[in-house]
Amino acid sequence: MSELALTLARFTFLGLLWLFVVFALLALRKDLRGESASGTEVAATPARSQRGRKSGRTSRRSKVKGTRLVVTEGPLTGTEIPLEGAQITLGRAPDSTIVIDDDYASSRHARIYESEGAWVAEDLGSTNGTWIDRTRLTTPTVLPVGAPLRVGRTTLVIQK
């Protein structure tokens, strides 16, 4: 191999290495700022559930299947969160409803909210994904009672 070809190969490799570093830093910045996959800030609470309470309509809680979210695996095993119509946020951020201290969880990893009488799980653009059983969430998905929801090393289940 000639000296020129070897030098060009070295510079190409160095350029690719720097490109990888830049993309890694951009991903970290996005994760630390808590941005969703679309690049917009994640909303704190769903507006529809707030309007429903203010307008005097009766609560749909009686129609919703599942009344509590239980952590079945991970460092928070045994933790129970009552599901009362408000959304539950999961992630490493200190303002999350369930703070998951795990290297595989993003700051704003996922959320669970009520929609039309069912609990819906949504991945918020996490790096390692949110899983129901063995299916990775790509869109908001109904979370059935008893189905394991996995965020990093933590598994949660909706129970009656």
pLDDT at residue 45, rounded to an integer: 37
pLDDT at residue 35, rounded to an integer: 55
pLDDT in tens, 84-113: 878 899 999 999 989 998 888 999 999 999
Q: Give CA–CA dist 149/141, Å, rounded.
A: 11
pTM attached to this predicted model: 0.59
pLDDT in tens, the chain (160 residues): 799 999 999 999 999 999 999 999 998 888 777 654 444 444 333 333 344 444 434 344 445 567 889 999 988 899 898 888 788 999 999 999 899 988 889 999 999 999 888 899 999 999 899 999 889 999 999 999 899 999 999 999 998 8
Query: Which is it for strands 149-151 and 135-136: parallel, antiparallel or unpaired?
Result: unpaired
Residue with tokens 């679309």: 38
| Burial profile 15-51: b = 16 or more Cβ within 10 angstroms, e = fewer | eeeeeeeeeeeeeeebbeebbbeeeeebeeebeebee
51: its two tokens: 């309007």
Are 137 and 131 spatial neighbours (Cβ–Cβ below 8 Å)?
yes
pLDDT at residue 83, rounded to an integer: 85
Which amino acid, 121?
A: A
pLDDT at residue 38, rounded to an integer: 44
